[in-house]
Structure 1
Amino acid sequence: MKPFLAVIFCFLFLNGVAQDVVISSPDKLLKLNVQIQDGKPVYSVSYKGKTMLEDSPLGLTTNEGDFTSGMKYVGKEESRVEKNYTEDKIKKSHIQYIANKLSCTLENSQKKQIKVVFQLSNNDIAFRYELPVWGERMSCVVEKESTGFNFPESTTTFLSPMMSPMVGFARTTPSYENAYSGDAPMIRNNPSRGGYVFPGLFRLGDNGWVLLSETGVSSLYCASHLSESSKDGIYTIQYPDVRQNNGFGSSGAAIALPGVTPWRTITVSDNLKPIVETTIPFDVVEPLYEASQKYKYGRSTWSWIVWQDNSMNYEDQVKYIDLAANLKFEYILMDALWDKNIGKARMQELIKYAKSKGVDVFLWYNSNGQFNDAPQGPRNKMNTSIERKKEMKWLREAGVKGLKVDFFGGDKQETMRLYEDILSDANDYGLMIIFHGATLPRGWERMYPNFVGSEAVVASEMLIFVQAVREAEAKNATFHPFIRNTVGSMEFGGTLLNKYLVKSNETRNKRLTTDVFQLATAVLFQNPVQMFGLTPNNLTDVPAFEIDFMKQVPTTWDETVYIDGYPGKYCVIARRHGDDWYVAGVNAEKEALKLKIKLPMLAGKTVRMYGDNPQKEAYTRDLNIRKGASLEIEMQPGGGLILAPVK
């Protein structure tokens, strides 16, 4: 009888109606179950015994077979992953990653197998599909994924809609420049037909929080995003809209076998601290090449953000080089149209002048001209290997240190290949790269040693152009440390101290946040190279202590700690640079906000506090932080707070 029962059990198990396959995080608080239900693979997630994701679909469809239904469980392998690494471009410089690993082998009705590989660290899940060689087949096209995320009914969302393809300025979308909305229902009256960009944040009532994203996207795959929610509260992985990049190129991914998909990441907790502090986008990827040199990070001036196109002339760029030198900034960014208005010969003179002032140079480039109508130049220098290498050779000889490359507008594999080609070639010529009008960076700080940030956010230029964005500036700022900036560097281009965001600093485009709010974002927003929006007049028309702060603020961090906050309302975080701690907070509420916060990292130290009085005027004073005591702080509406070292 026993052998017979064993055969029956084995049959039931292989057909997915028996036991779960379970894996836990090292601290045992996070658990993931894998099952086959009626031939369909699913997984679920719990944290501290509470359901965070209900049964959620797994699987993908390729031109060599369907791996979403008719599936059987074959077996599993379990192991442990441990690694220590350093990364000086993200929120934390020294990382210890420990995870439990589960590889589930599944088989479809054609007897073709795939693996779903899960890695669970404390609070984080990363998983991907691994596709082996199938007989003579050593390549395939992944057409779509069924991978989904099934949230409990009471969940609310913090999501940013994917922009429609080929609209907006010069048909350059999608560029990840839609705002996030907070605490929205999953099922909406006005759904986003194009879905939502990564990352996405979800609040599960009293159960806690879930952050979804992806990492490890290179030239070998397309980037993806989240679908609109189904009626059952399931979001699925969507590949790029075929209309992106003027309709040219694939919407799936062509891969060599054996091959892998990018990692899908899930950060889970009953509070926001692990969400803000997660390093999972970088934990599961590796550098794709060695840095050709040691790259120097730092702060930069740029005239375009406030003075706009008319500032792209030799004389104004001299003024901004002098501004950078006065501020002790490392860089100046010379933006679009420099090729036409200044030219290469005079640009070489400017670069020499900047060098004499101790300032290095970033230059702007259009990504290409074949899939959008953006007229700004230089154009057609970054999109082909031959022209790119010619241009980069000149850039190196001229002494340029980095490029800002703009207007990409798509997530297709062809576009991912362009990002990677630009980065790889630039490293050969000792150039750092910032992307604007671009997709979310997906582990790129670690994968590409010369990558130093992406925009992929409603950034400072929209403060110049759109009144509604100025009105929402404080609210948007409180989203970023919890969502966009927690998974990747964010080149926002902010800290604007003009009262009016125009060259004259009067009459129009009035800034609606305080000076201390603006100073706080220099710490709150993380990017290893920061293009700050200060103007030459700020050296004399704002309090000297504000300029002194900007002269000392770092752009790289050794540690990041969540202190307090709620996305869309307020945020307080602490960052450490060497031995120096900086605490920054901003308030998006309509009333002054009083908080009691614990700051053990500052215990026994004297710090300089920057704050706003009720009239929203900036002030500063020195405080001694007593050991074990709570610090009472107050932030004005649209205001901020900073605690910084006394220098």
Structure 2
Amino acid sequence: MVGAVGAFATLTIPLSAGAAQAAPTTGVDPVTVSSPCGRVRVTVQVESGVATYTVAVDGAEVVPPSRLGLTLDDADFTSGLILTDRGRPRTVPVDYELLQGKVSRVRKTMTERVVSLRNAQGFAMDIVLRADREGVAFRYRFPDRGDGATHTVVGEATGLTLNIPADGGEQFTLPYTVQKPKYQEWYVPREDHTVPVLGKPTISPRGASFPLLARTAAHDGKEWWVLASESGMDGTYPACHLTQPVVDPAAGRVTYTIAFPFDDEALGTLGPGTPQVGGAWQTSWRFVAVARTAAQVAETTLATDLGVPCALDDTSWIRPGAATFSWMMDHNSPKSLEQTIRWFDLGQQMGWPYALVDARWDQMTDAAGTPVPLERIVAEADQRALKLFLWFNSGGTNNTGSGTPRNLLVDAATRRATFQRLRDLGVAGVKVDMWEADKQQLIAWQREVIEDAARYRLHVVLHNTTIPRGWDRTYPHLLGVEAGIASEHYSNTKPLADQIPEQTTIAAITRNVVGAFDYGTTLLSPYALPQSPRRTTDAHELALTVVYQSGFNGFADTPEAYLTQSPEVRHLLSTVPVAWDETRFLAADPASHVIVARRKGRTWYIAGVNGKTVTIAPGLDPSAPNYTPPTGHAQQLTVDLRDLGIQPRSTLRLFADTSATDPTLRLTNPRGRSLTVDTAPFGGFIAVVQ
């Protein structure tokens, strides 16, 4: 079932072993890799024993010299380096399908070149370079020394240096949170509500999270956007993040450097935060996508291009789809049979294939207080043509969460027996929560859970975890990952709703670019908790079904919120896809607005959201003195339908705010070559074109 498990465990690297014996290349001539189209170029320079890389597009240097190298407990690969083999460029075909994602098929080529180095101690290291039309990537590879020892990677010098534009540029990254790096923070600091310029420290003393989106400048002063992240994660290296940026005022540059998880993550369990390596090993890919606009950089598929190829021999059983999600509006609903059935009835009427029963479903009772066995829950779902996703606590020693069931996924035998039972009952998938660390051992354990789920034909959704790093391709049954501010923040005890409209315009072109985002869309009730009212318009909420992409779209509101909508809205929510053939970002101004068009078959879904925030109160407590609700700014969003090849005779249904001053949802059928929508503050639109 999981055909690539063995492939992860064995790594053969013939190039470095030979390269370590080769005669050093004389001189300091740079080694260059150009994309097949010739526009993008990555260059490695070894000078005075230090290796750096630069990235240029159309001859303009977008990423100035940035450090390469790392340090082991017994070997230094940051200085004293000698180039031993320049390698030869070769074309690498990239051809794969995505069962859920922004596209259904990727066909392209990349240029690869392996540069071999030797350090002062005589140890070998390869730098594998790749370039394509969207950007560049690299990873380090090391041959087996034959000593049978496990070594610690003490640190990485790997950096990303960017030019700071005259206006300071823009920097969008999440703070790397202390102890629980769940990637659930704000891109724009709440207390000092301005878009961070390049080099502004995050509010966390532990640095910044991937991905990093930045507006920078080439050496000629022209504006560029870059998106940096990781891919190809296979459990043999931790998920990394970035140190606080370091600004060089004299040079007008800022540098971000790779950092490892901390020892106290996972409550101090699961080993150290530093990588532990042995035999032949390699790091994950680090990639930098480059484009002239934020919209263009958001279209990159580098995160999956560099992912480990699909690990499953059989994918015929995988079915992305929408689901009911009761926990959001009623945290106790998974413990009540009657409440759970209310959402089952909703799923049946809406025609959604799945129902998610969240935390503490193992404590479910009926109205009489009688415990409800899992078999009964499955039977109730089956009667309504629904398949279940069931929540599990990942822990373990990695968290102290009280949500149950827990301690069933740590030991392999217990986990497989659990998954066997779920498969035998006809359960479709599991939502595994509360990972709360980026450590190498946790990533390896998480991979084992995902692979065991595949063996028993169970889909997977992950929460409270790290961002995707290529796993959308490797594990197509992994339908969604949280790792961001999701809609459930509307129902947290802290009121967090004020900043969500703005966050969406950023997360859609940062977090969601690197993999499926399990957000929990389309809240149409005024609030989940009175102290945290929804600020978005109904049109904005409908648009999120397209703006955000996930192979598992959990509709998070109450049955009444959906069933009382007009037939047209209900039809839209019943039929909007969760997997796409093509995606085009038509406009993107992070912290202001985003417009995205996604195609399924011959139907285009075009959605835009306005998150422009004019005023917002500092802090998160509306009971604080002088608190005022946030205010937004009406915006006119325009789409040229000809850019998508849409003909004037096509049928278009537009769900939008009534006007710039009226947030009421209105359905119209406009015609013409372009689409112009006056969105209300925190408003939006969604258009279906057939």
Q: Which range, TM-score by smaller chain?
A: over 0.9
Q: Measure, in 2, the Cα distance between the counterparts of 1:23 and 1:621.
A: 51
Alpha-carbon distance, 1:349 to partner: 1.4
Amino acid at match of 2:178: S
Summarize deviations over 1:76-130 as a string: whole Å, max 9, x none.
2221111322112111011112111121111101111111011100022111011
Aligned counterpart for 2:234 among listed residues 194, 197, 218 = 218
User: Which residue of structure 2 aligns with residue 551 of structure 1?
Assistant: 574
Amino acid at match of 2:638: K
Q: Measure, in 2, the Cα distance between the counterparts of 1:376 and 1:293.
A: 33
User: Which residue of structure 2 aligns with residue 272 of structure 1?
Assistant: 294
Q: Measure, in 1, the Cα distance between the counterparts of 2:314 and 2:186.
A: 34
User: Which residue of structure 2 aligns with residue 596 of structure 1?
Assistant: 638
Alpha-carbon distance, 1:608 to partner: 0.3
Contact 1:88-1:558 within 8 A present in 2 as well: no
User: Which residue of structure 2 aligns with residue 242 of structure 1?
Assistant: 263
User: Which residue of structure 1 aligns with residue 543 of structure 2?
Assistant: 520
Summarize deviations over 1:277-330 as a string: whole Å, max 9, x none.
111111122123324652111100011001112553100111110000011111
Aligned counterpart for 2:666 among listed residues 616, 619, 625 = 619
Q: 1:238 to 1:493 in 2, by over 3 A?
A: same
Q: Measure, in 1, the Cα distance between the counterparts of 2:159 and 2:413.
A: 41
Summarize deviations over 1:473-508 as a string: whole Å, max 9, x none.
110110122100011100001211112225xxxx55
Q: Measure, in 2, the Cα distance between the counterparts of 1:344 and 1:129.
A: 54
Aligned counterpart for 1:186 among listed residues 198, 206, 225 = 198
CA RMSD of aligned residues (A): 2.0
Q: 1:500 to 1:543 in 2, by over 3 A?
A: farther
Amino acid at match of 2:380: Y
- Secondary structure at the aligned position of 1:134 is classed as coil
Q: 1:593 to 1:16 in 2, by over 3 A?
A: farther
Q: 1:42 to 1:264 in 2, by over 3 A?
A: same
* Equivalent runs, 1:367-378 vs 2, <5 Å: 367-378=394-405
- Secondary structure at the aligned position of 2:329 is classed as helix
Deviates more, 1:131-140 or 1:263-272: 131-140
Alpha-carbon distance, 1:207 to partner: 2.4
Amino acid at match of 2:86: K
Aligned counterpart for 1:89 among listed residues 93, 100, 107 = 100
- Secondary structure at the aligned position of 1:176 is classed as coil
User: Which residue of structure 2 aligns with residue 3 of structure 1?
Assistant: none
| 1:257 aligned onto 2:271 | no
User: Which residue of structure 1 aligns with residue 20 of structure 2?
Assistant: none
| 1:610 aligned onto 2:655 | yes
User: Which residue of structure 1 aligns with residue 617 of structure 2?
Assistant: none
Amino acid at match of 2:68: L
User: Which residue of structure 2 aligns with residue 26 of structure 1?
Assistant: 36
State the identity %.
29
User: Which residue of structure 1 aligns with residue 184 of structure 2?
Assistant: 177
TM-score under structure 1 length normalisation = 0.92
Amino acid at match of 2:677: I
Q: Measure, in 1, the Cα distance between the counterparts of 2:495 and 2:60.
A: 39
Number of equivalences: 620
Amino acid at match of 2:318: Y
Contact 1:476-1:568 within 8 A present in 2 as well: yes
Amino acid at match of 1:608: R
Contact 2:25-2:84 within 8 A present in 1 as well: no
Aligned counterpart for 1:585 among listed residues 583, 598, 608 = 608
Q: 1:135 to 1:415 in 2, by over 3 A?
A: closer
User: Which residue of structure 1 aligns with residue 67 of structure 2?
Assistant: 57
Q: Measure, in 1, the Cα distance between the counterparts of 2:334 and 2:305.
A: 42
Amino acid at match of 2:680: Q
Q: Measure, in 1, the Cα distance between the counterparts of 2:511 and 2:181.
A: 16
Q: Measure, in 1, the Cα distance between the counterparts of 2:333 and 2:351.
A: 25
Aligned counterpart for 1:118 among listed residues 129, 136, 148 = 129
User: Which residue of structure 1 aligns with residue 625 of structure 2?
Assistant: none
Unmatched 5+ stretches in structure 2? 1-22, 189-193, 249-253, 613-631
| 1:479 aligned onto 2:506 | yes
Aligned counterpart for 2:480 among listed residues 434, 443, 453 = 453
User: Which residue of structure 2 aligns with residue 169 of structure 1?
Assistant: none
Alpha-carbon distance, 1:548 to partner: 2.0
Amino acid at match of 1:174: P
- Secondary structure at the aligned position of 2:496 is classed as helix
Deviates more, 1:335-344 or 1:448-457: 335-344
User: Which residue of structure 2 aligns with residue 148 of structure 1?
Assistant: 159
Summarize deviations over 1:124-174 as a string: whole Å, max 9, x none.
211101111235457543332111001113343111101100xxxxxxx12
* Equivalent runs, 1:133-144 vs 2, <5 Å: 133-136=144-147, 140-144=151-155
| 1:538 aligned onto 2:561 | yes
- Secondary structure at the aligned position of 2:399 is classed as coil
Alpha-carbon distance, 1:591 to partner: 2.2
Deviates more, 1:586-595 or 1:394-403: 586-595
User: Which residue of structure 2 aligns with residue 129 of structure 1?
Assistant: 140
| 1:202 aligned onto 2:229 | no
Summarize deviations over 1:515-545 as a string: whole Å, max 9, x none.
1111100111000111111311124443332
Q: 1:468 to 1:49 in 2, by over 3 A?
A: farther
- Secondary structure at the aligned position of 1:19 is classed as coil
User: Which residue of structure 2 aligns with residue 427 of structure 1?
Assistant: 454
Alpha-carbon distance, 1:38 to partner: 1.8
Q: 1:439 to 1:556 in 2, by over 3 A?
A: same
Q: 1:275 to 1:290 in 2, by over 3 A?
A: same
Q: Measure, in 2, the Cα distance between the counterparts of 1:642 and 1:143.
A: 49
Amino acid at match of 2:684: G
Q: 1:524 to 1:466 in 2, by over 3 A?
A: farther
Aligned counterpart for 1:158 among listed residues 168, 172, 184 = 172
Alpha-carbon distance, 1:224 to partner: 0.3
- Secondary structure at the aligned position of 1:315 is classed as helix
User: Which residue of structure 2 aligns with residue 301 of structure 1?
Assistant: 324
User: Which residue of structure 2 aligns with residue 316 of structure 1?
Assistant: 339
Amino acid at match of 1:160: L
Deviates more, 1:292-301 or 1:397-406: 292-301
Summarize deviations over 1:220-246 as a string: whole Å, max 9, x none.
111101111123311111011111011
Contact 1:267-1:274 within 8 A present in 2 as well: no
Q: Measure, in 2, the Cα distance between the counterparts of 1:553 and 1:299.
A: 9
Contact 1:140-1:257 within 8 A present in 2 as well: no
Summarize deviations over 1:412-439 as a string: whole Å, max 9, x none.
1110011111111111111111000111
* Equivalent runs, 1:260-409 vs 2, <5 Å: 260-285=282-307, 286-291=309-314, 293-310=316-333, 312-342=335-365, 346-409=373-436
Alpha-carbon distance, 1:579 to partner: 1.3
Contact 2:94-2:110 within 8 A present in 1 as well: no
Q: Measure, in 2, the Cα distance between the counterparts of 1:152 and 1:362.
A: 47
- Secondary structure at the aligned position of 1:245 is classed as helix
Contact 2:233-2:470 within 8 A present in 1 as well: yes
Q: Measure, in 2, the Cα distance between the counterparts of 1:219 and 1:68.
A: 24
Amino acid at match of 1:195: G
Q: 1:145 to 1:190 in 2, by over 3 A?
A: closer
Deviates more, 1:384-393 or 1:328-337: 384-393
Summarize deviations over 1:380-411 as a string: whole Å, max 9, x none.
01111121112112111221110001001111
Q: 1:29 to 1:427 in 2, by over 3 A?
A: same
Alpha-carbon distance, 1:469 to partner: 2.6
Q: Measure, in 2, the Cα distance between the counterparts of 1:164 and 1:269.
A: 32
- Secondary structure at the aligned position of 2:163 is classed as coil
Deviates more, 1:592-601 or 1:454-463: 592-601
Q: 1:467 to 1:619 in 2, by over 3 A?
A: farther
TM-score under structure 2 length normalisation = 0.86
Deviates more, 1:550-559 or 1:311-320: 311-320
Deviates more, 1:405-414 or 1:247-256: 247-256
Q: Measure, in 1, the Cα distance between the counterparts of 2:385 and 2:324.
A: 13
